[in-house]
Amino acid sequence: MSLFSPKGIRNDAKLVRNLFAPAIPQKPTRDGYGEGIVDAAAEDRNVIVLCADLTESTRNMEFKERFPDQFVQVGVQEQLLAACGAGFALAGKIPFITSYAMFCPGRAWEQVRTNICLNDVNVKVVGSHAGVSVGPDGSTHQAIEDIAIMRVIPNMTIVSPCDAVEARKATIAAAEMKGPCYIRLAREKTPVFTTAKTPFKIGKAEIYRDGKDVAVIACGPLLHNALKAADELRKEEKIDVMVVNMHTVKPLDEKTVRMAAETCGAIVTVEEHQVTGGLGGAVAECLAKYRPTPIEFIGVQNRFGESGDPKELIEHFGMGVGSIKAAIRKALKRKT
């Protein structure tokens, strides 16, 4: 294990030292939620969990055991999950409504919009199994539209944590903030590369890597691929890539997006989501307003997912390290 961060990684990011070691510990972001929800409930007895027949896979086992009276099983009723969650919030609770992202917010969109966001109540929507990395379950269970459908709703905050540590922090922060929040989680194990000391604040992007040629703005576990792509391009082609963790997709940290565009003049967005309507869309809308900049979009290109091994699917859908490197080169060429 190296004693120092890889070259270019900012010290104040406080990332793990062995960032690109093959043996870097791996954990799904949903596990971070499972830890964070217990922390949050220990702080505030009004924190409750609503579960739709997915206790184990949404990582609510420990919460259920420790806070049985604050655990509500609703069965396979995702519309109820959202509407009933709004009711609990209206009566002063802080409900975390948990399911697969495909079903909530997916199936429950209108209840999230009307009962939660228009009502502006304190419900936290926790969508696990987002992205194609759900793997063998196939396209029916791979939510890659969830950020888009949440992003258009006023009052909604959207957080897409990059690893289990950040997911834990996001869960605690969501319980502390007032208002609706969507936390996007993944099923598959991914590298744990942030630490307890890594700064995290909802709404504030973090720059993990300085650079001046191209800026990569990423959210979710693919951020690790983005850091790796940047590291390889520095070594192989002397391309100097900035990497931004845009964990909060809404409200977008526009200041950081503009700064990245001003500094680098070209952007690549990275997300495990359709390239329309998600993080890429948000960044494009921002820069179209303030500073038109060439952007390349890494994500699923207007297709549905399919069954397969998670890593294989990430490669197949063009979100692997090689694809990100290609997008960075292309963005660099488009700079005038």
Partner 1 sequence: MPHIHEKKIKRLELVANKLRQHVIEMVAAAGSGHQGGPLGMADVFSVLYFHELRHDPKRPAWADRDRLILSNGHICPIRYAAMAESGYFPVKELLTLRKFGTRLQGHPERKRLPGTETTSGPLGGGLAQAAGMAYAAKMDEKTWRTYVVNSDAEQEIGLHWEAVLFAGKNRLDNLVSIIDRNNIQIDGDTEDIMPIEPLAEKYEAFNWHVIECNGNDIGDVVRAIEESKKIHQRPVVIVAHTIPGRGVSYMENNYLWHSQPFKPGQAEQALAELKEIERKLKADHATV
Question: Which is the catalytic residue, given 78, 145, 188, 271?
Answer: 78
Q: Largest alpha-carbon pair distance within the chain?
A: 61
Residue 149: C-alpha distances to residues 7, 103, 172, 221 (Å): 38, 12, 24, 20
259 touching partner 1, by CB under 8 A = no
Residue 320 is classified by DSSP as S
Is the Cβ of residue 119 or residue 139 nearer to partner 1 in the bound state? Answer: 119
Task: Provide the minimum distance between the beta carbon of 104 and partner 1 in the complex, in angstroms, as a whole number.
Answer: 12
Q: How far apart are CA 299 and CA 183, in angstroms?
A: 19
Site for partner 1 in 32-61 (CB under 8 A): 48
119 touching partner 1, by CB under 8 A = yes
Indicate the angle between helix axes 29-43 and 164-176, nearest 10 degrees: 30
In this chain, which stretch among 65-73, 134-142, 255-263, 312-320 interacts with partner 1, using CB under 8 A? Answer: 65-73
Q: Which amino acid is at 181?
A: C
Site for partner 1 in 75-114 (CB under 8 A): 75, 77, 79-80, 83-93, 95, 110-111, 114
Q: Which amino acid is at 322?
A: G
Q: Which amino acid is at 100?
A: Y
78 is catalytic: yes
Site for partner 1 in 120-139 (CB under 8 A): 120
234 touching partner 1, by CB under 8 A = no
SS3 category, 288: helix
Task: Provide the minimum distance between the beta carbon of 225 and partner 1 in the complex, in angstroms, as a whole number.
Answer: 39
Task: Provide the minimum distance between the beta carbon of 62 and partner 1 in the complex, in angstroms, as a whole number.
Answer: 20
Q: How far apart are CA 98 and CA 116, in angstroms?
A: 14
8 burial level (CB within 10 Å; 0-12, 13-18, 19+) = middle
Task: Provide the minimum distance between the beta carbon of 128 and partner 1 in the complex, in angstroms, as a whole number.
Answer: 21
Q: Which amino acid is at 195?
A: T
C-beta separation of 159 from 174 below 8 A: yes
Q: How far apart are CA 67 and CA 52, in angstroms?
A: 17
Task: Provide the minimum distance between the beta carbon of 121 and partner 1 in the complex, in angstroms, as a whole number.
Answer: 8
Residue 174: C-alpha distances to residues 203, 257, 301 (Å): 11, 23, 30
Single residue of 4, 22, 69, 302 touching partner 1 by CB under 8 A? 69
C-beta separation of 208 from 217 below 8 A: no
* Dihedral sign from CA coordinates of 104, 107, 109, 115: negative
Residues contacting partner 1: total by CB under 8 A: 28
Task: Provide the minimum distance between the beta carbon of 217 and partner 1 in the complex, in angstroms, as a whole number.
Answer: 33
> Which residues are at the interface with partner 1 (CB under 8 A)?
48, 69-70, 72, 74-75, 77, 79-80, 83-93, 95, 110-111, 114-115, 118-120
Active site residues: 78
